[in-house]
Amino acid sequence: MSNSPLTPGIVAGRLPAEAYVHNFGDHEPPLDRHEARVAADRCYFCHDAPCITACPTSIDIPLFIRQIATGTPEAAATTIWSQNILGGICARVCPTETLCEEACVREAAEGKPVEIGRLQRYATDVAMAKGMHPFSRDASTGKRVAVVGAGPAGLACAHRLAMHGHDVVIFERRAKAGGLNEYGIASYKATGGFAQKEVDWLLQIGGIEIRTGVELGRDISLDQLQADYDAVFLGIGLAGVNALRAVGEDLAGVRDAVDFIAELRQTEDLSRLPVGRDVVVIGGGMTAVDAAVQSKLLGAENVTIVYRRGQEKMSASGYEQDHAAQAGVRIIHNAAPVRVLGNGSAEAVEFAYTLEGPNGLVLSEETFTLKADQVFKAIGQTLKGAPEGLPVTGGKIAGPSGKVWVGGDCAAGGEDLTVTAVAEGRDAAEAIHAALAGQ
């Protein structure tokens, strides 16, 4: 986004060059060998481990931690990848504090869980650094499967199908594969181009072709795919963004938070990325937190997240909310935008305090105004371009239907998490394989 005359407060280079390197370095440094062994020794290796149940991909967590404790991180990585082929990125971005680590017995007993996420990263990093890919393809089945979307669900589905000997073509509308792992997460969570390195590593299985710049509904149709392939998997994500429905949201300086994050992730020189002096982020999820924290790291002086409901309703975890506060982000609850103020470009946002009434959320007559030269909308994403003929429920695709399976954020049910998308892609691949085998 360029600094136009309509957005005088949005400029690049607010910080010294060295500050960008520091601010966008690894948010949580990796464990070294000694630290990993010490962390692994805290595990009780529970027989009926609640952490496994809490993991959407059902990784055998006590087993892989025991393998680290006995000095075989490569074996630990194989244990992880057998259930979650994107275990490297999930170790970096999963809200482990509300999943496996929250369920950890040590968390219940001591308030400090085993560091499962960091141990998972250690194991997968060690194995990837050695060029290890412990899976191979079965004999070719002669079956061809189309996967639409190269995000976590599509990649997990493609890899499992390739393992079973099927040939897979992935169609991706963007220029790179990876989906939200490449375009939608905070840069400091996956540094050094890790998302693309993991995609390259995954493709070592063979039998997978990725065609980028191809969009369903524009370049290809679902009918065409069903005619040309033996099965189709849809992992198209949620490409639409909800509107604020507030006066002035079309002013310069107002944009979707997901676009800002994607631009930041693809910018090689962050000193050239413009950011406002006074930034307001509207929303309460991970996208809101990622946009707000990164605005602060780019040099914004005042960054505020405003969420229409109470703190307990925010979908961003408590850990992420605390991280935002530590980064200098202010969070205001129970307030909704009424209008964006400005003459051609955003200058401020007027909010009304909200109340929970018998008929839902209502705006009170009490209002306040926040100065803002840049406003990010992070109020949820929606399904965009769902193929005709597929059942849609709750704004998401219900499946499977005929030769079509579906998974990830675009699929009905489940949570919008990378690890859930991986599980759904993996499980869909097994269902497709069974169908193709006539089982």
Same fold, 144-239+383-436 and 242-377: yes
Region 327-339: what's the mean pLDDT?
A: 97
Best CATH choice for the domain 144-239+383-436 from the list 3.40.50.1170, 3.50.50.60, 1.10.760.10, 3.10.580.10: 3.50.50.60
Q: Tens digits of per-residue pLDDT, 400-411?
A: 888 999 999 999
* Token output for 26: 């690894």
Give me the pLDDT at residue 375, please.
98
Q: Would you place residue 4 in the very low, low, confident or very high pLDDT band (cuts 50, 70, 90)? A: very low
Nearest to 96, CA basis, from 262, 318, 284, 427 = 318
User: pTM of the full predicted structure?
Assistant: 0.95
Nearest to 384, CA basis, from 195, 234, 247 = 234
Q: How many CB atoms lie within 10 A of CB 134?
A: 12
Please determine, for residue 104, whether its predicted confidence score (pLDDT) is greater than 90: yes
Best CATH choice for the domain 33-129 from the list 1.10.357.10, 3.90.550.10, 1.10.1060.10, 3.10.20.600: 1.10.1060.10
Please determine, for residue 394, whether its predicted confidence score (pLDDT) is greater than 50: yes
**Ordered strands of the 208-212 beta sheet:** 208-212, 167-172, 144-148, 231-234, 404-406
Q: Could you name the CATH architecture of 242-377?
A: 3-Layer(bba) Sandwich (3.50)
Region 236-259: what's the mean pLDDT?
A: 94
Q: Would you place residue 247 in the very low, low, confident or very high pLDDT band (cuts 50, 70, 90)? A: very high
Distances (CA, A) of 154 to 37, 147, 306, 340, 408: 34, 6, 33, 38, 8
Please determine, for residue 414, whether its predicted confidence score (pLDDT) is greater than 70: no
CA distance 187 to 290: 9
Residues 6+ apart with CB under 8 A from 357: none
Q: Tens digits of per-residue pLDDT, 195-223?
A: 999 999 999 999 999 999 999 999 999 99
In the chain, where the domains are located: 33-129, 144-239+383-436, 242-377
